Structure 1
């Protein structure tokens, strides 16, 4: 993606189902769980690079012995920092007591992070807050084992203010309105309530406090706690949690917006945000990794029992399509094919733009995430070339050897014309004059393109168009072609996301900018005020009745009209080459990614009322010239 956008976040969890001695004997290391957890985290580093954290819980530790251990980092390489801290605990123990490291019981009692439950997290901060204290997992501590709660997740809630008010009504005094605090305190409140209920129940039966604690450990109903805690949540989420006595859960939102996968056998349970990372970490085939059902929680009891429990009533399944287009790594077999399909579906429209003049067309892409879709586009073009070859072979009556050679040798012109200097990009990201320097990130291949050529460049998505406008198009123009066609494998991003992607300000979207310009040019600027008033009225309604009022902004125009206006807006002054832009269609998106129908940032069809409310608030902010986030 030529425009950078952040994403929240990645999770990884490991639950060992055997004693530590088992893994030492079979795998030759007491660090089996730590190795698997940190491998899962490293393989998901694409999901978060602002911070990382990990927490471990040891089962059945005696009173007075620590059993919960956590480390977090917001360093330059946070995943490595977290791993190093965990590994250091084992290395220090080995240095002092090498003869003890094959004794699982001794390792568990004496080495930090040598627990049966481990939870890891990768963070992208989308609210401007940085630092170790903002990194997951979050810990709610208590002297009672069954009241300790560890939570980490990939989520964003749209109704934080309402959840804050609910906590206040419960008598709490939340320290802020961040959704991480809301999640931790909501679950924590009902965890406390469940503990209190069981304590009172068995106190009446005459059990002493130690006996009551043992009863709570066995009978704590995690599903019931999650039902009570999350029934008011509006958003997209996968939330992972551990309770001090050893229960583990991973809860997915009712619409299945955010991804969550797991694997279990008789040795281990593993949870992660992406499927191929589990395959890699455990060397298992794709069919053995399962998806957490929307509205359900995967619960691993302290006893090792694993079950899927319904927590909230599932809604229409609308997984985030941006996971398939961009965020999830393309090493997943299905995602790889879907991205190729996204590129292939654009072939006809691209060829129309170049008048089927393949001799004078060069195909390229903006590195690196668009590469797979580019493969699909090129394969589709080659298929068209094959059809053309077959036509001529069948229709031409007098084929000479030279003519056959000419037909058989023709191939589309495919070149890699731009590469990124990753080290320079890191340097520029921290520079105050980033816009002036960003062009230096890209190296260009000269001498390939002719003045008569059209250059087709594939990008996986165009969000703001800033990098295209300020640098990429200028750089490409130096190559001297007559026309540049920018192709987006994703549709036009028209509406904010509020379920975990950092796309919250409508004024930042070039498609929105184009629609506003079209209204003004056509003398219909009053439509903006009409939508503004409708958004203000909608905010007075109950959240459940919210509707997206902003969709009316795009109704007067076809997608091609918006695309043409975007091309005008992004064309830098003084460009010699003509610039055209092609976007993926909504139909093409759904055909390429049939299992991921979440398209609210393209269509405005939000799966929850909170999404409609966020879209309206984002438009209000635009009209009031406010730079605040919409949620």
Structure 2
């Protein structure tokens, strides 16, 4: 999971892109990058870490131009320590092109082979985003007539991408001397919204993973980029859009609404906050079934994502809502932290119980989801240590039993807590008196209530049904083996046996690309 931005403005956009990335920081804390376009020159700066750490004043000054794209990276397997895979990526043929991508391709190996054997293009990293860039560049090259780029060639190139590429992708790209391109996969798995702003009588455009980046930047939400749609905005602000896929099906990722998106965002026409409130109402119905005697004294959220659901659940059950855990806001998300040991340790650093809210009470803890269960186990134990008599644990999402192959770095099936376990066994694993999961149909109805036009969703991590239709048992086995196999870096051991990773990639933090 990543966050992407693209802007075509009438004045310098470096500050807009920086501010927008900070608003999308929740979508990735591993690396950040910005590219701006000034005349026919690209200016790039990217690096590892949070947005505030990657960009200094001197970097911002060098990012000249009235158009640009930006990216924050979520650490997926194999990329967390590799600056060479930080985005945006660049190629110089047939034109200078930079691209940022959110999602994950599912036929990357096949595309790499085609790139090498037929398209005669070299892929320098393990990133599927670099593959996607080269596919787009090649399709653009074969559709260009003469030396000038036409809008028709851009849309034909996007059509070619849709024919060749499988998986999830929301994309923003710049073509040197021409303009900005945005497109989304034919299933619309990953979100991408469009905003506009009037600047002295001329329209500026912004594309973003979530609407919150538009709102706080002074842009008005126009609409979502449609599944399969291609959009071209010239550097002078001319906007053109076209459907570029033969078959489309709008099936956004359900986990966006459960966990990733900010509650103040609107994506695919649905208010994330309203969807989470509805999740709480639906979950209350399930709690009544599982705990019919309702021997619950208080409802508490696991901060922050589950707050709307927990609040509405408490209202629906007529129970007190309390903040039982105080969050240290300077600790990153444990779900996306690499390494079980680091994740377990950080839970205690991130959350601290308010003992008086637990002592002598039966508490219902509400979280957005349960993935590995490490965090849940630690939280339940903290509640008991603080004096809770009984601890019930409710999840606003169904049991996560399958890997997500569309851009969320979920672990192998063997690492997922719910795989092969009943709810009673899961409760024993995390030390709870009972575990209550949202039903999948109820979750879909909750999001549908916020956006009635949404009828189909990408739900693979819950039910194993992969919307693109190309995911086999062999594919899942291969990616699980890759997660557990050798890393892309060289691993050595020091004299005390601790692991040290030596990165063999050349790290280039700042570039001027012409």
State whether TM-score is above 0.5.
yes
Aligned pair partner of 1:125 in 65, 72, 75: 75
The Cα shift of 1:317 comes to: 1.4
Please name the residue that 2:356 is paired with.
447
The Cα shift of 1:352 comes to: 4.3
In 1, Cα distance between equivalents of 2:90 and 2:72: 16
Q: Contact conserved, 2:182 with 2:232, CA < 8 A, in 1?
A: yes
Please name the residue that 2:42 is paired with.
68
Tell me whether 1:34 sits opposite 2:14 in the alignment. Answer: yes
Please name the residue that 2:104 is paired with.
156
Aligned pair partner of 1:462 in 346, 363, 370: 370
Provide Cα deviations, 1:79-122, integer angstroms capped at 9, x if missing partner.
453363443x2xxxxxxxxxxxxxxxxxxxxxx43323211111
Instruction: Determine which structure has the larger helix proportion and give its number.
Output: 1
Matches within 5 A, 1:390-539: 412-423=319-330, 434=342, 435=344, 438-449=347-358, 451=360, 453-469=361-377, 471-514=378-421
Please name the residue that 2:468 is paired with.
608
In 2, Cα distance between equivalents of 1:345 and 1:430: 32
The Cα shift of 1:283 comes to: 5.2
Compare 133-142 and 249-258 and name the one that shifted more: 133-142
Please name the residue that 1:374 is paired with.
310
In 1, Cα distance between equivalents of 2:100 and 2:186: 18
In 2, Cα distance between equivalents of 1:176 and 1:81: 21
In 2, Cα distance between equivalents of 1:380 and 1:465: 27
Provide Cα deviations, 1:338-375, integer angstroms capped at 9, x if missing partner.
101101111133234444446x5221121111111111
Q: Contact conserved, 1:495 with 1:602, CA < 8 A, in 2?
A: yes
In 1, Cα distance between equivalents of 2:196 and 2:77: 35
Instruction: Determine which structure has the larger strand proportion and give its number.
Output: 2
Please name the residue that 1:524 is paired with.
none
Q: Contact conserved, 2:47 with 2:83, CA < 8 A, in 1?
A: yes
CA RMSD of aligned residues (A): 2.7
Larger radius of gyration: 1
Compare 486-495 and 295-304 and name the one that shifted more: 295-304
Tell me whether 1:82 sits opposite 2:55 in the alignment. Answer: yes
Q: Contact conserved, 2:186 with 2:248, CA < 8 A, in 1?
A: yes
Q: Contact conserved, 1:164 with 1:177, CA < 8 A, in 2?
A: no
Label 1:255 to 1:579 Cα distance change in 2 as closer, same or farther (>3 A): same
Task: Give secondary structure in 2 for the equivalent of 1:231.
Answer: helix
In 2, Cα distance between equivalents of 1:619 and 1:377: 38
The Cα shift of 1:464 comes to: 0.9
Aligned pair partner of 1:587 in 441, 451, 455: 441
Q: Contact conserved, 1:158 with 1:499, CA < 8 A, in 2?
A: yes
Please name the residue that 1:598 is paired with.
458
Please name the residue that 2:91 is paired with.
140
- The number of equivalent residue pairs is 467
Provide Cα deviations, 1:520-555, integer angstroms capped at 9, x if missing partner.
xxxxxxxxxxxxxxxxxxxxxxxxxxxxxxxxxxxx
Q: Contact conserved, 2:300 with 2:363, CA < 8 A, in 1?
A: yes
Tell me whether 1:273 sits opposite 2:180 in the alignment. Answer: no
Q: Contact conserved, 2:67 with 2:235, CA < 8 A, in 1?
A: no
In 2, Cα distance between equivalents of 1:223 and 1:183: 15
The Cα shift of 1:423 comes to: 4.3
Tell me whether 1:259 sits opposite 2:191 in the alignment. Answer: yes
Label 1:433 to 1:491 Cα distance change in 2 as closer, same or farther (>3 A): closer
Matches within 5 A, 1:37-436: 37-59=17-39, 67-75=41-49, 77-79=50-52, 81-82=54-55, 84-87=57-60, 89=61, 112-129=62-79, 130-141=81-92, 147-170=95-118, 171-195=120-144, 198-199=145-146, 213=147, 216-218=148-150, 221-264=153-196, 266-282=202-218, 284=220, 288-332=221-265, 334-357=271-294, 361-382=297-318, 412-423=319-330, 434=342, 435=344
Label 1:583 to 1:426 Cα distance change in 2 as closer, same or farther (>3 A): closer
Aligned pair partner of 2:475 in 604, 610, 617: 617
The Cα shift of 1:604 comes to: 1.6
Provide Cα deviations, 1:267-309, integer angstroms capped at 9, x if missing partner.
201100001321221153xxx4310000111211355321211
Q: TM-score normalised to the size of structure 2?
A: 0.84
Task: Give secondary structure in 2 for the equivalent of 1:380.
Answer: helix
Segments of structure 2 that go 5 or more residues without pairing to the other structure are 449-453, 487-514
Q: TM-score normalised to the size of structure 1?
A: 0.69
Task: Give secondary structure in 1 for the equivalent of 2:130.
Answer: helix
Please name the residue that 2:495 is paired with.
none
Task: Give secondary structure in 1 for the equivalent of 2:189.
Answer: coil
The Cα shift of 1:320 comes to: 0.5
Task: Give secondary structure in 1 for the equivalent of 2:401.
Answer: coil
In 2, Cα distance between equivalents of 1:39 and 1:626: 34
The Cα shift of 1:461 comes to: 0.3
The Cα shift of 1:493 comes to: 0.8
In 2, Cα distance between equivalents of 1:419 and 1:152: 36
In 2, Cα distance between equivalents of 1:592 and 1:605: 20
Q: Contact conserved, 1:257 with 1:317, CA < 8 A, in 2?
A: yes
Label 1:480 to 1:184 Cα distance change in 2 as closer, same or farther (>3 A): same
Provide Cα deviations, 1:303-325, integer angstroms capped at 9, x if missing partner.
53212112222432110111111
Provide Cα deviations, 1:98-156, integer angstroms capped at 9, x if missing partner.
xxxxxxxxxxxxxx4332321111111202322432211111125xxx61111111020
Task: Give secondary structure in 1 for the equivalent of 2:419.
Answer: helix
In 1, Cα distance between equivalents of 2:439 and 2:298: 23
Tell me whether 1:627 sits opposite 2:494 in the alignment. Answer: no
Tell me whether 1:10 sits opposite 2:3 in the alignment. Answer: yes
Label 1:512 to 1:173 Cα distance change in 2 as closer, same or farther (>3 A): same
Task: Give secondary structure in 2 for the equivalent of 1:308.
Answer: strand
